[in-house]
């Protein structure tokens, strides 16, 4: 019993981490790692992507399918997936994508809608919830039916971002049609078969929130050298309807004339095989319609619904008890661990700070002593500096005096020599001046004497 409880607890913890729906960011081309679900890794073109987000659904570390989801209509525009062998149908809980409503959330995995109530801000703002279907005539149904996937990947197909509203109690609906088509096409194409299922919204919305599709569509591409394709359309007003069309015609009937496959995947439809598929599905629905009539059938169906409701209620109660017990135990363990870690951290911090504080105090004391010694030396220097300078000046006075004697003698000799030269120059100047005066006087006398004689001789003539 304890082992079973432990295993259940481990599953509760591990399940959310197995389911992941990565929202692609701006700048990433196509669907990034989920491009493998499109032939040639080329997603459809022409679909209006305003208010749409690209989601790459992953589980267990493997990619499962890709979805273009409209947050305006709360409806998947299309989902691309590969056919896989069907596993037994199993009841699953509906999953939501936390980051779609709360971009700041650090929860990267899909989680149970019931667990997200108190963990995701603005839950239901950008995606549909199961409560949107309550008290209405509609129920959610996967656009990419879980019956096409292997057992371990069926969980991912129960994401509410991959569901469309269908009428309650509908039999032989979309999932059944796609299952028959997938089984037949895999026989014709093999592993190169690519499937894209989509929904075209109508003007009617459930609770003015979730758009009811006008019709659902399925496009198949066999990406082989002899490529071929085909398309199917199912009107929501008639659950027994299923129309076969070419991929090119399907693109014309989609909003904006979108192109599902590049070059329409060869554009070579297999009309005979398509008619065979439609005929087989019609016969199966007719057989199911005959078997599903009569009061006995409805009584059995009512009892089955009641029994399933009782089982689901018991399961939800047990699930709630187990979850509360797990949260209580996990919360206690986490609180204990946090307390121990906090205590150890505080003690370690105090012990580590003791030697640091001791070294800091010793360093401050040494710095204080160094400052005191420096200031004492400064004061002593200021006290002894004047007498030392005075003594040095007295001691250096004779030196400066003796050294000045040659300079003074040189200056005196220069002065005496200058005086003698000045006297000599004065005598020479006086002599020269006297000579000039005598010469000038003699010259004047001679001029007069000579001039007088000449004037006398002229008169005699």
Q: Is the pLDDT of residue 14 over 80?
A: no
pTM: 0.59
**Among the listed ranges 37-51, 243-257, 297-311, which one has the minimum average pLDDT value?**
297-311
- Residue 13 — very low, low, confident or very high, per pLDDT cuts 50/70/90? very low
Give residue 316's pLDDT.
76
Sign of the four-CA dihedral 134, 138, 139, 144: negative
Give residue 232's pLDDT.
94
Give residue 71's pLDDT.
92
How many secondary structure helices (H) and strands (E) does the chain include?
Answer: 6, 12
Q: Cα angle at 290 between 288 and 294, to 5 degrees?
A: 115
Instruction: Evaluate whether 54 touches 23 at the Cβ level (below 8 Å).
Output: yes
Q: Cα angle at 451 between 445 and 457, to 5 degrees?
A: 140
Sign of the four-CA dihedral 409, 415, 416, 417: positive
- Residue 4 — very low, low, confident or very high, per pLDDT cuts 50/70/90? very low
Quick one: tokens of 382? 């200021």
Q: Taking all residues of the chain, what is their mean pLDDT, rounded to a whole number?
A: 81
Write out pLDDT tens, residues 285-315. 766 554 444 556 667 767 877 888 788 789 8
The fraction of the chain above a pLDDT of 70, given in percent, is 84
Give residue 5's pLDDT.
36
Give residue 331's pLDDT.
82
Write out pLDDT tens, residues 81-118. 987 765 555 556 788 888 888 888 877 778 888 888 88
Write out pLDDT tens, residues 152-184. 555 666 889 999 999 887 655 888 888 889 888
Give residue 44's pLDDT.
93
**Among the listed ranges 227-231, 243-247, 280-284, 375-379, which one has the minimum average pLDDT value?**
280-284
**CB contact burial 108-126 (16+ within 10 A = b; e otherwise):** ebbbbbebbeeebeebbeb
Give residue 285's pLDDT.
72
Distance between CA atoms of residues 13 and 326, nearest Å: 10
CATH (one of 3.40.50.360, 3.40.570.10, 2.20.25.240, 3.40.50.10880) for 2-293 = 3.40.570.10
Distance between CA atoms of residues 92 and 88, nearest Å: 12
Give residue 229's pLDDT.
92
> Comparing 139 with 284, which gets the higher pLDDT?
139
How deeply is 197 buried, as exposed, middle or buried, from its count of CB atoms within 10 A (0-12, 13-18, 19+)? buried
Backbone angles phi, psi at 151, to 5 degrees: -55, -40
In the chain, what are the domain boundaries?
Answer: 2-293
- Residue 7 — very low, low, confident or very high, per pLDDT cuts 50/70/90? very low
Backbone angles phi, psi at 77, to 5 degrees: -75, -45
Q: Is the pLDDT of residue 54 over 60?
A: yes
Residues 6+ apart with CB under 8 A from 437: none
- Residue 226 — very low, low, confident or very high, per pLDDT cuts 50/70/90? confident
Per-residue pLDDT, averaged over 414-420, amounts to 87
**Among the listed ranges 165-179, 214-228, 321-335, which one has the minimum average pLDDT value?**
165-179
Q: Is the pLDDT of residue 18 over 70?
A: no
């Amino acid at each position: 019993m304890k082992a079973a409880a432990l295993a259940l607890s481990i599953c509760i913890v591990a399940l959310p981490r197995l389911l992941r729906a990565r929202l692609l960011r701006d700048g990433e081309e196509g669907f990034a790692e989920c491009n493998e679900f499109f032939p040639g890794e080329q997603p459809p073109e022409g679909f209006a992507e305003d208010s749409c987000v690209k989601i790459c659904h992953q589980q267990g570390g493997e990619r499962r399918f890709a979805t273009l989801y409209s947050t305006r209509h709360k409806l998947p525009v299309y989902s691309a997936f590969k056919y896989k062998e069907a596993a037994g149908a199993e009841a699953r809980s509906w999953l939501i994508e936390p980051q779609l409503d709360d971009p700041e959330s650090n929860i990267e995995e899909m989680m149970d809608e019931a667990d997200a109530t108190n963990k995701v801000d603005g839950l239901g703002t950008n995606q549909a919830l199961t409560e949107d279907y309550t008290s209405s005539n509609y129920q959610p149904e996967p656009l990419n039916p879980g019956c096409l996937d292997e057992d371990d990947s069926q969980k991912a197909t129960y994401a509410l971002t991959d569901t469309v509203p269908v009428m309650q109690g509908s039999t032989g609906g979309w999932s059944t049609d796609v299952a028959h088509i997938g089984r037949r096409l895999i026989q014709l194409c093999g592993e190169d078969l690519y499937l894209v299922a989509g929904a075209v919204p109508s003007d009617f919305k459930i609770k003015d929130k979730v758009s009811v599709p006008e019709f659902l569509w399925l496009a198949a591409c066999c990406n082989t050298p002899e490529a071929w394709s085909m398309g199917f359309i199912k009107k929501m007003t008639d659950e027994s309807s299923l129309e076969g069309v070419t991929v090119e015609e399907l693109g014309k009937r989609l909003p904006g004339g979108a192109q599902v496959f590049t070059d329409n995947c060869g554009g070579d439809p297999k009309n005979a095989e398509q008619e065979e598929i439609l005929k087989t599905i019609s016969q199966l629905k007719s057989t199911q319609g005959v078997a599903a009539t009569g009061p006995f059938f409805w009584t059995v169906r009512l009892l089955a619904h009641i029994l399933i409701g009782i089982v689901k209620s018991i399961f939800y109660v047990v699930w709630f008890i187990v979850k509360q017990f797990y949260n209580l135990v996990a919360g206690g363990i986490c609180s204990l661990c946090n307390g121990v870690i906090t205590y150890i951290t505080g003690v370690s911090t105090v012990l580590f700070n003791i030697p640091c504080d001791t070294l800091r105090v010793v360093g401050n004391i040494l710095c204080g002593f160094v400052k005191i010694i420096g200031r004492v030396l400064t004061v002593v220097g200021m006290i002894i500096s004047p007498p030392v300078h005075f003594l040095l000046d007295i001691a250096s006075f004779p030196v400066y005096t003796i050294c000045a004697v040659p300079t003074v003698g040189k200056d005196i000799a220069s002065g005496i020599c200058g005086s003698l030269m000045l006297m000599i120059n004065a005598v020479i100047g006086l002599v020269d001046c006297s000579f000039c005066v005598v010469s000038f006087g003699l010259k004047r006398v001679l001029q007069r004497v000579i001039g007088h004689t000449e004037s006398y001789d002229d008169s005699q003539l």
